[in-house]
A and B are shown apart, each in its own frame.
Chain A
Amino acid sequence: MSFEAKTEQFEGPLDLMLHLISEHKLDIMDLDMEVLADQYLLHLRQMEEHHLEIESDYLVELATLIEYKSRKMLPKRTEENEEEEDPKDVLVRRLLEYQRYKEASQALYENYRSRQDHFAKPMSDLEEPKEESGTTRGNAYDLLKAMSKVLRRVQLSRPMETSLTKRELTLEDRRLQILSRLESLPESFTFDTVIDDCEDLFECVVSLLAVLDLIKDHYLVFSVDESDTIHLQKGVNYA
């Protein structure tokens, strides 16, 4: 038995079908649905053998292919379904349409690549500090988005690695550190204040986890404003 290591990644059932069509030199304009259905099924079986998880999206399309195949096997009923579009045409149209966007996305990738060679500076901070309304706004995704900005800033502001010694900072330690600092902090402060003693990215991440923990335990409440700044306030459990 030959072992074929399939490393190719498909972005979905349509992507897989396009691959099979090209691999088996099928004519997309006159698609042999039976060959496609067989090859598709074969591929899914191979995935199964390799213990790869088959996503449900692939099964949905498999059902379409099998339905088409089984319908072909049944004796043709009289033209009662004249009106209905041939499922083969529907599939071909979808494949062609999908192929267009796949190619467009490859062209877009070139732009994305080229953009990464250029860097810009963040805007100068000229805005007046705003009064906080004190309500918790924003969901976990807002917080993530804001955090990614913080991390980027930390990374840019500490470009050079200066030390090789690794300070171990546990989540529990950091939580206690922040709790003890709370006393000296004003009613409302930003996440940047919390991490201003952090030496590296690792400590910032630990700080975020500690802050999340404190939010969960109602020692802190958070809000995220339009400029993705994370604001923190003392919560009900902090007496």
Chain B
Amino acid sequence: MREEVIVRELSAEQRCALNNSRVRPVEQIRTVNKQAVTEGLLYIVGEDGLKEEQLAAVLEVGEDEALALLHEIRVKYDDEAYGIELVNYGGRYKFVSKADIYPYAQKLFHNYKPDTLSPSALETLAIIAYKQPITRIEIEELRGVGCEVMLRKLLTRNLIREAGRSEAPGRPILYEVTEEFMDSFELVSLEELPDLPKYDEENQSLFD
């Protein structure tokens, strides 16, 4: 019975090796605790995060199972006994310290200054996130101000990237948001963005 469980967890190649006992390495018959492996991998990848499909490929399981494993870990760390939690930003799972830890971190790193984003940067990012891929000219039309310097800054901060060129005359560069953006705004995907507010004749609550 036990032997059977082990065999199911191995790949076809490894099963073949298992049958041929002469070349069977000892490590391969150890049962693995997949949740522990997942946790270890999440520790190693750090802020880069781990994708469902990466985990599935490494553990040689289906993506459903990978997702279930990640979910289990997420639930486990939700418990207040833990100081870190598992988050999903842009499809990448990663461990981050919980918000409750922040005041203590501030005490530890006393000259820590959080990154800031100006209202102009936020406006530009919002426009790109909702309308990507989008050209500089289109952004400028919406904002009514020149955006060349702002786009450069956002590119440098890795919040946006170039996404090919538009078919419009002059083939202007298109921009889109990056995974760093998803991380900075705690988004799993862009579908998660709230619907843009709508204004029309009936809904005049613009300045309420």
Contact = CB atoms under 8 A, between A and B. Distances in A.
B80 interface: no
Contact of B145 (A55, A114, A115): A55
Contacts of B77: none
B99 to A, nearest CB: 4
Contacts of B207: 21-22
Interface string B91-123: 000111111011001001111101101011011
A61 B117 CA distance: 26
A29 interface: yes
Contact of A115 (B108, B112, B119, B184): B184
B19 interface: no
Contacts of B126: 101-102, 104-105, 108
Contacts of B82: none
Interface residues of B, number: 60
A117 B103 CA distance: 8
A42 interface: no
A164 interface: no
Contact of A105 (B48, B87, B125, B141): B125
B146 interface: yes
A193 interface: no
A94 B127 CA distance: 13
Nearest to A119: B97
Interface residues of A, number: 53
Contacts of B45: 123-124
Interface stretch (A69-77, A155-163, A169-177): A155-163
Instruction: Give the one of B94, B109, B193 with max A CB within 10 A.
Output: B109
B156 A115 contact: no
A141 interface: yes
A157 B196 CA distance: 41
15 contacts: A13-B145, A14-B143, A57-B146, A98-B143, A100-B199, A104-B196, A109-B122, A115-B185, A118-B102, A119-B101, A119-B105, A121-B95, A123-B47, A124-B44, A145-B157
